[in-house]
Amino acid sequence: MELQKQIYAKAKEIEPQIADFLSRLVQTPSFSMKEADVVKVIHAEMDKLGFDNIRVDALGSIIGTIGSGKRIIAFDAHIDTVYPGNRNNWDFEPFSGHIADGYLWGRGTSDQKGGLASMIYAAKLIKELDLNNDFTILFTGTVMEEDCDGIAWEHMIVEDNIRPELVVSTEPTSLNIYRGHRGRMEITAEVKGVSCHGSAPERGDNAIYKMARIALEIEKLNDRLQNDEFLGKGTITTSLFKSDSPSQCAVADYAMLQVDRRLTKGETMELAVQQLEDCAKRANIDADIKVLRYEEKAYTGKIYPVQKYYPTWVLDKESPYLITAEDAFIKVFDKKPIIDKWTFSTNCVFIMGKHPEIKCMGFGPGDEDQAHAPNERIKVSDLGDAAAFYAGLVAGLNGKL
Neighbours of 163 (CB within 10 A): 15
Report whether 363 contacts 101 (CB < 8 A): no
Question: Which residues have a Cβ under 8 Å from the Cβ of 125 and sit 6 or more positions away?
Answer: 7, 10, 11, 14, 131, 387, 388, 390, 391
Q: Is position 13 annotated as part of the catalytic site?
A: no
Question: Which residues have a Cβ under 8 Å from the Cβ of 161 and sit 6 or more positions away?
Answer: none
Residue 71 corresponds to which amino acid?
A: R
3-state SS assignment for residue 305: coil
Q: Tell which residue, 52, 196, 62, 60, has the closest CA to residue 127.
A: 52
Cis peptide before 112 (omega within 30 of 0): yes
DSSP 358: S
Strand segments (E) across 182-230: 183-192, 227-228
Number of H helices, E strands in the chain: 10, 22
Q: How far is CA 108 from the centre of its chain?
A: 12
Residue 40 corresponds to which amino acid?
A: K
Q: Which of 35, 57, 76, 80 is catalytic?
A: 80
Q: Is position 37 annotated as part of the catalytic site?
A: no
Q: Which of 145, 146, 267, 368 is catalytic?
A: 145
**Which H or E element spans position 396?**
helix 380-397
DSSP 109: I
3-state SS assignment for residue 147: coil
**Residues labelled as active-site residues:** 80, 145
